[in-house]
Amino acid sequence: MTVTTPKIVQQWFKYARNDLNMAKASLELSSSYKNISAFHSQQCAEKAVKGYLAFKKIRFHKTHNMTELLDLVNSVDAKLAKNISKAKTLTIYAVIYRYPDAERKPMTVAKAKAAFKIADHVLNMCIEALKA
């Protein structure tokens, strides 16, 4: 991102980076925080995609649904949408693993680490797409 990147876009990416850092720190602190890590990984990917959409001046509504957001990305950059398509798997972490009565299958450290890896990829690809 450059100085000419609109402030709102910069903020989306700043928040996405903060969520990615929190996802990583949560796992490093204790495996007990795997649910929190997965949530922040989802939030990172969501905010990175919303930052990209804001940069492209594509309107979006409040949603945690990564499929909906990726459909919007696809409307302007099919290659990017395909490259970050694994982000769809993160949608479930926006709500399900945040509340004890919503969790159906236990979160694992492996799932949390996989979510982090996807989020990191999404963030990096969205930032690269701004440069294209």
Per-residue pLDDT band at 15 (split at 50, 70, 90): very high
Per-residue pLDDT band at 7 (split at 50, 70, 90): very high
Q: What is the pLDDT of residue 29?
A: 96
User: Model pTM?
Assistant: 0.94
**Which residues, 6 or more positions from 82, have their beta carbon under 8 angstroms from its beta carbon?**
74
Q: What is the pLDDT of residue 4?
A: 67
Q: What is the pLDDT of residue 104?
A: 73
Q: Report the sign of the C-alpha dihedral through residues 96, 101, 105, 109, in that order.
A: positive
- For 21-61, the pLDDT digits (tens) are 999 999 999 999 999 999 999 999 999 999 999 999 999 99
Q: What is the pLDDT of residue 84?
A: 98
Q: What is the pLDDT of residue 98?
A: 72
Cα 91–Cα 130–Cα 40 angle in degrees, nearest 5 = 30
